[in-house]
Structure 1
Amino acid sequence: MTVHAQTPNPVISQADQVDAYLRDKMTKTRMPGMQLAVVKDGQIVLSRHYGTASVEFGVPVEDDTVFAINSITKAFTGVAAMRLVEEGKLDIGKPVGSYLADLPETWRGVTIRQLLSHMSGLPDVMGAPTVETDAKAAWTWVQTRPVRFAPGERFDYCQTNYTLVQQVINQIEGRPLDAPLATAQISVANMKHTAYGDTYDVIPRRAPTYRWTSPSQSQSWTEAATVLRATSERFLPFRRASSGLNSTASDMAHWIISLQSGKILSKESLASLWTPATFNNGDKGQWSTGWQIQQRGTHRAVGMTGGGRAAFAIYPDDGVAVVILTNLTGTFPEDFIDKVAAIYAPDLPLSGIAALRIALDQRGYHHASMVAAELDAKDPGTRWPELEMNDWGYRLMATNRRTEALAIFQLNATKHPDSSNAEDSLAHAYLVNDNNAAAITHYRRALVLDPGNTSAQRNLAKLLQGPNAPHS
């Protein structure tokens, strides 16, 4: 039995249902402003804007308000790579060393596909002290760091990957190595309000971005005590294959329409773009060439997220796409984008994590195990992807929804009893919920499952050396 999305209320219009749902999300997340676009069968069927773009000046969000889309930039980079594959100029199965000469020997064998799908094992340039101030020094620094694991062994989100892809594509195209990559796509899709830049660039009608934070380092985080602060982000040109685009929901919708209609890529290239990369052991990952690939029952959801405040998803089997852009870090619109899609695609099978997320928003996260059991009873074939659930838990933790995060990590460990990573994450959740004894128990379980789990080793050692550590 396949669990499908609920039939939309025939009395309330689809647009009104979306409005009510998103306004409730804005209230719960204390979000200043948001844009939405829904594409159905190649047409924009809904375009909405809500709230405030600039809190300082009381400027409302409009259709042409521009938002930072951060790592959604990677999806454009993936498309740029596939355009070169179409032209026969790039083979993403080849090692990066086939295209770039001046690289550490340990980097040269990593394939372009492994870079695009974050399976490279390379050190992350984001750790460089000068990553926001001196590109040359940052790039020199990262090349001195050890590799983390053999290419293709596991997933590790790493911005170094996309800097290398940027250099490869630009070398092939005969441009400076740090030139932006999406210019052609922006032109084809007629994206009038889309441009590269960061906080330090003057971008017309760009909304500031915000974050709720604790007033001081010494004050504990509670919702009542938090204050809204503007954020500052720097994306030097050498990193603009991974971050740095700014856009509107309508522009993004036009890009999606152009992509699916064959104006940017052929159907064959699009299918390749949306095929998950595989690990060395043959398992499929959650990423392809710059895109996240997830299952929604027997259907697919492909897309990307950015900055904890922007997301888009295309549902190729349902003819629907949804874009949600916000100006508040920590809103994670990827967690409510499925619900909007389901209003316009009532046959979208939202089983597993997608159905669980919608149900827990209504019934409370303390019912996580019960709701999951109900979903399993309705559909014994329900899949619970470990990495997707793990990501969800960490998004909750990032917004200080600690007890909710714990419920998800508990469920993940139950669904994946042989996973050291699931036990490691559960231990972390107990730690941030001030239950050190339970954290120690689960770090030990993580190490039984994988004695080489360095995260569990490090955190367990710290706990056992603490002044209030329980005896073994």
Structure 2
Amino acid sequence: MRIARRNRIFPISLLLAALLPFSAFAQKAETPAERTDRAVQAFVTQYRVPGAQVAVVKDGAIVFSRAYGKANVALDVPATKQNVFTLASITKAFTGLAAMQAVEAGKLDLSAPVSRYLDGLPEAWRAVTIRQLLSHMSGLPDTNRAPTVDSNAEEAWRWTLAQPVYFAPGERFHYCQTNYTLIQRVLNRLYGRSEDAMVGEAQIAAAGMVRTRYGDARDLIVGKGPDYQFVRSTPAASGVLEQRYPVSLPFHRASNGLASTAEDVARWIIALEQGKLLEPKQIETMWTPAAFNDGKPGQWGMGWTILPRGAGHRAVGMTGGARSAFYLYPEDDVAVVILTNLVGSYPEDEIDRIATYWAPGLRITGVPALRIALDDAGYDRAVQVAGNIAKKDPAQRWNEAELNDWGYRLLHSGRPRDGLEIMKLVVALFPRSGNAEDSLGEAYAINGDIRQSIVHYRRSLALDPANTHATQQIERLEKKSSAEN
């Protein structure tokens, strides 16, 4: 039966919908660049970062480069892509590459003792290998602790030579600036340069890094603004922003002497990927974790940290001064560089999230996945979210040291409650670890809970009776509690 059609007014909105493509009404998906920009804006806002630069490398090209905030707060100078930022310990990756170039040239043997190349070292130092120096397994005393490290190099070095070693070479990890002063002097002797000459100049030139140079706060570096730090009366306080003036004497600059831009670091990464700085065989050696005496691998290669990122994926790179970081994902042809002028901003915690925007095949698991999830769900759900991640990935193995480091970064960067939740998680995952209980005791103390702090320091002592730190803290906290009561 045919139905008679009624006369009706056709809504103009439906008429437009019929004339325009459906995609015009569908919600537009964000591009990787838009997602990156949004993530960086959130990071800068959350941590009150005065100024930052971000660069992303994809398939051998810079696909994203942007500056945020202020290069100079007092003068109200906006940050640009041409501003220069402190790289701090990212410099070690350049030094590691310089060492591998010497290996490639047949001048340096990673397995050789440092005494093959340098004379006059203390007896306990002589057997330390070049590989152990580059991977922080030497056990040597740290020149950074010398009273004159920022004012008198000769006195600082004499002080360092007189200190006892911490452990036998290769026994465990100890982050130590002495290692890189020795590498600096080895390389300079091999190439006939002065003892404290800079070791990365050739690779900087080869990569076309036009705004990169060695120096510190006393040097005139074009485009370089101040560094900043929030000074807090307590870890939970919002803090007062103050300027910082980092000093790095020439003997120390293989560890932390470079200043650069995000785009320059990106150019260096591209030059490395294209084989302009090192052959592939030497690159893989540089990115292979050095092994301890017991055969277990560490997290350091030759000047670079190597972190697993899902099955068959890695992040290799370096962080610097709690203000700058870069990671390269070799299996995904992606690299992310974030430089800031705020000590304590820890931009490395943002890099994995950004990398996934540009590498859809990069499946983040473990600590990076937990970090991203807790930023969204809240840190009070740390144990639950970690359990969910482990269920989805039965092969997941939590790294106690990585979790512990993350917890301390949160505790000391204005997020003590979040740091406490991470330390609770570490204890839940590693219930037989005296170090985990010790860290949780410290986290409770920072959050003002003396009673719970003492409880966990005592648990740490029960698990590790040799933990003198726990003994000292219990005594201190009990005196403090008695004085307050």
Note whether the superposition's TM-score is higher than 0.5: yes
Q: Give 1:18 deviation, angstroms.
A: 0.9
Q: Choose from 359, 368, 385 the match for 2:399.
A: 385
- 8 Å contact kept, 2:235–2:416: no
**Which has the higher mean CA deviation after the structures are superposed, 244-253 or 454-463?**
454-463
Q: Which residue of 2 aligns with 1:4?
A: none
- Cα distance in structure 2, aligned partners of 1:366 and 1:136: 50
Larger radius of gyration between Structure 1 and Structure 2: 2
2:470 aligned with 1:452: no
2:293 aligned with 1:280: yes
1:227 to 204, 227, 240: 240
Task: State the alpha-carbon separation in 1 of the partners of residues 478 and 391 from structure 2.
Answer: 41
Give the C-alpha shift of residue 173 in structure 1: 1.1
Assess if the C-alpha contact under 8 Å between 2:235 and 2:446 holds in 1.
no
Structure 1 counterpart of 2:262: 249
| Cα drift, residue 165 of structure 1 | 1.1
Offset at residue 365 of structure 1 (A): 0.7
State the aligned residue count.
457
- Give the CA deviation at 1:448: 3.5
My pick for the range that moved more, 315-324 or 438-447, is 438-447
1:463 Cα deviation after fit: 3.6
Instruction: Quote the residue 1:51 is aligned against.
Output: 69
Structure 2 Cα separation of the partners of residues 207 and 291 of structure 1 = 27
**Match in the other structure for 2:316:** 302
Q: Is the 8 A contact 2:236 2:416 kept in 1?
A: no
Within the candidate set 336, 352, 360, 1:338 is matched to 352
How far apart, in 1, do the equivalents of 2:237 and 2:140 lie? 38
Residues 171-225 of structure 1: CA deviation (Å, up to 9, x unaligned): 11111111111001101101000000000000000121111113xxxx545545x
Provide the TM-score with structure 1 as the length reference: 0.93
Question: Residues 81 and 261 of structure 2 are in contact (CA less than 8 Å); yes or no, is this contact kept in structure 1?
Answer: yes
| C-alpha distance in structure 2 between counterparts of 1:442 and 1:274, whole Å | 38
Other-structure match for 2:421: 407
Q: Which consecutive residues of structure 1, in runs of 5 or more, have no partner in the other structure?
A: 1-8
Q: Please say if 1:292 is aligned against 2:305.
A: yes
Larger RCO (CA under 8 A, 6+ residues apart): 1
For the 8 Å contact 1:189–1:258, the answer to whether it is kept is yes
Confirm or deny: 8 A CA contact 1:39 1:253 kept in the other structure: yes
- The CA distance in 2 between the partners of 1:51 and 1:463, in whole Å, is 42
Match of 1:3 in 2: none
Cα distance per residue 1:80-105 (max 9 Å; x no partner): 11011111111111111221111111
Structure 1 residue 279: deviation in Å? 1.2
Residue in 2 aligned with 1:5? none
In 2 relative to 1, CA 347–173 (structure 1 residues): closer, same or farther, beyond 3 Å?
same
CA distance in 1, matches of 2:216, 2:36: 31
Deviation of 1:170 after TM superposition, in Å, equals 0.9
Contact 1:113–1:289 (CA<8 Å) still a contact in 2? Answer: yes
Question: Residue in 1 aligned with 2:17?
Answer: none
The 1:457–1:157 alpha-carbon spacing in structure 2 relative to 1, beyond 3 Å, is farther
What does 1:174-185 correspond to in 2, within 5 Å?
Answer: 174-185=192-203
Structure 2 stretches lacking a partner, 5+ long: 1-26
Deviation at 1:440, TM superposition (A): 2.8
Shift of 1:452: 3.2
How far does residue 291 in structure 1 lie from its aligned partner after superposition?
0.7
Q: Distance in 1 between matches of 2:353 and 2:49?
A: 18
Give the corresponding residue for 1:65: 83
1:194 alignment partner, one of 201, 204, 212 = 212
* Mapped partners of 1:210, 1:331: distance in 2: 10
- In structure 1, C-alpha distance between the alignment counterparts of 2:277 and 2:42, rounded to whole Å: 36
| Cα distance in structure 2, aligned partners of 1:57 and 1:180 | 32
State the Cα distance separating 1:469 from its structure 2 match.
9.2
TM-score by structure 2 length? Answer: 0.91
> What SS does the corresponding residue of 2:343 show, helix, strand or coil?
coil
SS at match of 1:76: helix
Q: Output one character per residue of 1:271-306: Cα deviation in whole Å (capped at 9) or x when no partner.
A: 000000111121111111111111111110000000
Contact 2:235 2:413 in 1 (8 A): no
Q: What's 1:363 paired with?
A: 377
Aligned counterparts of 2:52 and 2:336: Cα–Cα separation in 1: 13
| CA positional deviation for 1:466 | 4.8
Percent identity between the aligned chains?
52
Instruction: Please show how residues 110-129 of structure 1 align to structure 2 within 5 Å.
Output: 110-129=128-147
Which stretch shifts more, 424-433 or 238-247?
424-433
For 1:206, the equivalent position in structure 2 comes to 224
- 1:26 to 1:384, Cα distance in 2 relative to 1, 3 A: same
CA contact under 8 A between 1:34 and 1:324: conserved in structure 2?
yes
> Hey, what's the Cα distance between the residues in 1 that align with 2:69 and 2:53?
9
Going from structure 1 to structure 2, the CA distance change for 1:423 and 1:282 (only over 3 Å counts) comes to: farther
* SS of residue in 1 equivalent to 2:363: coil
CA-based RMSD: 1.7
Q: Distance in 1 between matches of 2:406 and 2:470?
A: 20
Counterparts in 2 of 1:64 and 1:365: CA distance versus 1, 3 Å: same
Q: Give yes or no for contact 1:463–1:469 (8 Å, CA) kept in 2.
A: no
Deviation at 1:328, TM superposition (A): 0.9
1-structure distance, mates of 2:393, 2:331: 20
1:147 correspondence with 2:161? no
Which one of 280, 302, 327 corresponds to residue 267 of structure 1?
280
Supply the distance in 2 between the matched residues of 1:372 and 1:428 (Cα, whole angstroms): 22
Shift of 1:153: 1.5
1:157 shift after superposition: 1.1
- From 138, 143, 151, give the equivalent of 1:133: 151
Asked whether the equivalents of residues 235 and 412 of structure 2 are also in contact (C-alpha less than 8 Å), the reply is no
Q: Give, as a single letter, the amino acid of the residue that structure 2 aligns with 1:309.
A: R
What CA distance in whole angstroms lies between the structure 1 residues aligned with 2:481 and 2:54? 50
Q: Pick closer, same or farther for the CA change 1:469–1:293 going to 2, 3 Å.
A: farther
* Contact 1:275–1:288 (CA under 8 A) maintained in structure 2: yes
Which of 181, 184, 187 is the equivalent residue of 1:169? Answer: 187
Find the aligned partners of 2:483 and 2:403 in 1 and give their Cα distance.
30
Q: CA deviation at 1:161?
A: 1.1
Q: Which residue pairs with 1:258 in the alignment? A: 271
